[in-house]
Chains A and B, each alone.
Chain A
Amino acid sequence: MNHAESPIGNKIKMVLVACTLILFAAGARAATTLENMQAAYNGESNAHARYLAFAGKADSEGYGQVASLFRAAARAEEIHAGNHAAVIRKMGATPAAKIEAPVVKSTRENLEAAIKGETYERDHMYPDFLSQARKDHNLAAIKSLNFAKTAEAEHAKLYSAALTQLDHLKGSQAGTYFVCPKCGFTTQELSFAKCPSCFTPKEKFEKIS
């Protein structure tokens, strides 16, 4: 049977909806640049630990070249974490990271996980954080986030290339990669005079194998 609802019931419903909306609006507020920097610092610190673990696995499975790539990327993530930490300190806070035990699978799966992570950072996380930092006119944050975003894009490319050629890389020796000490830009060939991201002379790049 269909019956009309009482006016008091309707009012209670309206109040509940209004309260929910207010709570949702408060919860959905944009993260501040400081919160974003902490999240980025946490992400990069964990990526550093994860890639070192992946490098060990690649070595044990006989993918020497892939192990070198993971070590180079790990170094880059360490540089990003250091840059982010400096910005956090400049903003008057203390960098805090919760390092989780890396989940290590086969090298193929590790590469797939790495590509997923780098692609997310390149396409979503860093663009969103950069957008907020720009709104806040925080130059130091923009610089640090931009350096990381550019390097993650290179990492995604390098990981994708390694995954495509993985069968051929079985039994490979350690390879050589170059990492910019300022921005973490990672490359196999120093085909430029200055870092494309931060203009550091190529002579200063760190050689990782």
Chain B
Amino acid sequence: MMHLPPIPAWESLHPLVIHFPIVLLLLSPLFLLIGAALSPAKGLPYRYAGLLILLLGTVSLFVAAATGEAAGELAERGGGVDAVLTAHENLASETRLLFVGLSVILLGMIALPRILHRQETRLSSTFMPLAYLVFYSVGILYLVNTAHAGGRLVHEFGVHAEMPASDGATSATATEAQEPAESRTD
């Protein structure tokens, strides 16, 4: 009979949660793009969806960063790992800051017309979201670079999370590159 896998420790969660911000934050601009292409009224639900996905993605970035630091404490240092780990950590902090800013801006762009009881126009429903997406692309650049540094840690340096042992104990470890890389995730 199939069972649920054991619940991982906080230090082991990073590989599980890290995919949420990547997917959500890359998905959000697609909804904004569809919303911009439609009329102000028809595009509104897409802008709402884009905002909601962005907010969820930004929250998940915080969880990813916190679990990443916890996992990083177990990673053995020395050699090339140090520089890549530092880059990954710094990029993650910058990415988090950028998406907090992007979330505040989009929230303002969508909420302000409602608060001020102003009718949506092409300017607010199409041109401003398109201009916003140009700024958003900077966030994506940081996001993919953070993910790339994480990917290097896993696939180049063999830093990987160890999945729960048979007794239910869990751990996240960083081992030498030559060790087997079962359960590798970035």
Name A residues whose Cβ lies closer than 8 Å to a Cβ of B.
130, 134, 136-139, 142-143, 146-147, 149-150, 153, 183, 192-194, 196-199
Contact = CB atoms under 8 A, between A and B. Distances in A.
A20 to B, nearest CB: 34
A202 to B, nearest CB: 13
B129 to A, nearest CB: 34
Contacts of A137: 162, 164-165, 167, 169-171
B173 A150 contact: no
B156 interface: no
A143 B171 CA distance: 10
A130 B76 contact: yes
Chain B interface bracket (under 10, 10 to 19, 20 to 34, 35 or more)? 20 to 34
B74 A146 contact: yes
A134 B89 contact: no
B22 to A, nearest CB: 21
B121 interface: no
Contacts of B76: 130, 146, 149
A130 B170 CA distance: 15
A61 to B, nearest CB: 33
Contact of B74 (A139, A153, A199): A139
Contacts of B139: none
Contacts of B137: none
B74 A142 contact: yes
A196 B77 contact: yes
Contacts of B171: 134, 137-139, 142
B73 A199 contact: yes
A143 B74 contact: yes
A198 B90 CA distance: 13
A149 B89 CA distance: 20
A140 B175 CA distance: 16
A130 B89 CA distance: 23
Contacts of B82: 196
Given A137-B165, A153-B78, A194-B89, A143 B173 contact: no
Given A137-B165, A150-B77, A199-B73, A142 B173 contact: yes
Given A194-B89, A196-B86, A199-B69, A139 B11 contact: yes
Contact of B73 (A134, A153, A198): A198
B97 interface: no
B9 interface: yes
B72 interface: yes
